[in-house]
């Protein structure tokens, strides 16, 4: 059956979402990182270096290390703010109470007939295994589909990254297949499995996903 949906913004261009600065899940709060977050950021990034390096793009030669360089971190925060203003990307720190726990980003927002973006995430090794990443993904889906008016979100995962595949499996996000040599990760063009969710799927499943991951637990 052909499904029709008119997106709310017919013209491409920047459209920062309402209330986009602070997004709440059941336990996680998402907010843009600020230069004042540097100490927490540095502690987590330095401690989790070996945990993260196998899953991230290699730092270009000569580029400052944002994990340890306060100025580089501040510049990164400013770049993310600019993306938000332009409507091209939305970067969030994941916080559990006041504690920084990782990041989740909506990257490369494409408007026009695509109305699409990519989602990436990571969690502090010391805070892994609590379901913070899947909770943050559901919060991001709600924001992207209901406030930004996007039509499709994609998450690309290296096949051997079993922890990340568990995140999308728990959320029952649709697997689309293998993209060969898709992204440069730690210096290698790695195959990735593409997972995607469209707004039609979100509308069908939002009640179930929000009840499971976002709304306060009635038993608690």
- Considering the rule CB under 6 A, would residue 132 count as an interface residue with ligand COA? yes
| 17/28 with CB nearer ligand COA | 28
- Considering the rule CB under 6 A, would residue 154 count as an interface residue with ligand COA? no
Question: Residue 56: how many CB atoms within 10 A of its CB?
Answer: 12
Binding ligand COA by CB under 6 A: which of 17, 100, 134, 195? 134
- Considering the rule CB under 6 A, would residue 123 count as an interface residue with ligand COA? yes
Separation of alpha carbons 54 and 140, rounded Å: 24
CB-based contacts of 28, cutoff 8 Å, min separation 6: 94, 95, 96, 101, 132, 135, 136, 139
| 5/162 with CB nearer ligand COA | 162
3-state class percentages of the chain: helix first, strand second, coil last, to nearest 5:
35, 30, 35
Contact between 213 and 138 under an 8 Å Cβ cutoff? The reply is yes
Binding ligand COA by CB under 6 A: which of 73, 95, 100, 122? 122
Number of residues that bind ligand COA (CB under 6 A): 21
- Considering the rule CB under 6 A, would residue 159 count as an interface residue with ligand COA? no
Q: In the bound complex, what is the minimum distance in angstroms from residue 52's beta carbon to ligand COA?
A: 5
- Considering the rule CB under 6 A, would residue 58 count as an interface residue with ligand COA? no
- Beta sheet of 90-96, edge-to-edge order: 23-24, 28-31, 90-96, 99-110, 116-123, 152-157, 188-198, 174-185
- Considering the rule CB under 6 A, would residue 182 count as an interface residue with ligand COA? no
- Considering the rule CB under 6 A, would residue 195 count as an interface residue with ligand COA? no
| 87/117 with CB nearer ligand COA | 117
Q: In the bound complex, what is the minimum distance in angstroms from residue 122's beta carbon to ligand COA?
A: 4
| 65/169 with CB nearer ligand COA | 169
b/e 140-162 (16+ beta carbons within 10 angstroms → b): bbbbbbebbbbbbbbbbbbeebe
- Considering the rule CB under 6 A, would residue 131 count as an interface residue with ligand COA? yes
CB-based contacts of 124, cutoff 8 Å, min separation 6: 44, 47, 48, 100, 101, 102
- Considering the rule CB under 6 A, would residue 129 count as an interface residue with ligand COA? yes
Binding ligand COA by CB under 6 A: which of 52, 77, 153, 214? 52
- Give the binding site for ligand COA (CB under 6 A): 51-52, 55, 121-123, 128-134, 157, 161-164, 166-167, 170
């Amino acid at each position: 059956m052909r499904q029709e949906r008119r997106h709310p913004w017919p013209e491409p261009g920047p459209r920062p979402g309402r209330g986009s600065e602070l997004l709440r899940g059941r336990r996680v709060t998402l907010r843009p990182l600020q230069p004042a977050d540097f100490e927490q950021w540095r502690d987590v990034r330095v401690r989790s270096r070996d945990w993260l390096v196998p899953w991230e793009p290699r730092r270009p030669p000569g580029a400052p290390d944002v994990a340890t360089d306060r100025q580089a971190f501040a510049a990164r925060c400013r770049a993310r703010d600019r993306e938000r203003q332009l409507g091209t990307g939305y970067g969030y720190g994941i916080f559990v109470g006041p504690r920084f726990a990782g990041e989740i980003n909506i990257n490369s927002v494409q408007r026009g007939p695509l109305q699409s973006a990519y989602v990436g995430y990571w969690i502090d090794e010391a805070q892994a295994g609590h379901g913070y990443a899947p909770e943050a993904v559901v919060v991001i889906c709600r924001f992207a589909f209901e406030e930004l008016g996007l039509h499709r979100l994609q998450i690309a995962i290296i096949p051997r990254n079993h922890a990340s595949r568990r995140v999308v499996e728990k959320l029952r996000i649709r697997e689309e297949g293998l993209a060969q040599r898709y992204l440069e990760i730690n210096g290698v063009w790695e195959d990735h499995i593409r997972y995607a969710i469209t707004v039609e799927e979100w509308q069908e499943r939002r009640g179930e996903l929000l009840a499971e991951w976002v709304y306060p637990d009635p038993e608690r």
